Amino acid sequence: MAKFCKQKPHENEKYIKDTVTDESTTGKDNLLAGFIPLTAVAKALGVSKRTMQRYHAQRIGPPCIRIGNTFLCRIESVHSWLISREIAPARPRR
């Protein structure tokens, strides 16, 4: 399973926003607005790129689009995927 992220949640969100809005992805007619590379998702979650590739291959990761050798994920899809992996705390034993 995935390791818990060592960063605070607000730091991860800032990293994702910085990745999506860097100089190479800004512009009016940008087709890739709202997408983030799978490597950036891995970094934000504190797991390796290979782990995210394995999740994708096993179809347990966030939905992605492949363009050449680059995997891109919609930010909304990553958020939905994270919410779907939420689990309830275990009940204490008696």
> Is 90 among the domain residues?
no
Question: How many angstroms from the chain centroid is the CA of residue 43?
Answer: 8
Residues 6+ apart with CB under 8 A from 78: 36, 41, 62
> Is 74 among the domain residues?
yes
pTM metric for this prediction: 0.63
User: Taking a C-beta distance cutoff of 8 angstroms, is the pair 64, 72 a contact?
Assistant: yes
User: Which position has the higher pLDDT, 82 or 27?
Assistant: 82
Whether the predicted pLDDT of 83 surpasses 80 = yes
C-alpha 83/C-alpha 86 separation (Å) is: 5
User: What's the total number of domains in the chain?
Assistant: 1
| Parent domain of 14 | 9-21+32-84
C-alpha 45/C-alpha 9 separation (Å) is: 9
> Is 68 among the domain residues?
yes
Please tell me whether residue 27 adopts helix, strand or coil conformation.
Answer: coil
- As a whole number of Å, the end-to-end CA separation of the chain is 27
Give the pLDDT score at 92: 85
pLDDT (tens digit per residue) in 13-67: 555 555 555 545 455 458 888 999 999 999 999 999 999 989 989 999 999 999 8
Assign residue 16 the CATH number of its domain. 1.10.10
> Is 77 among the domain residues?
yes
> Is 2 among the domain residues?
no
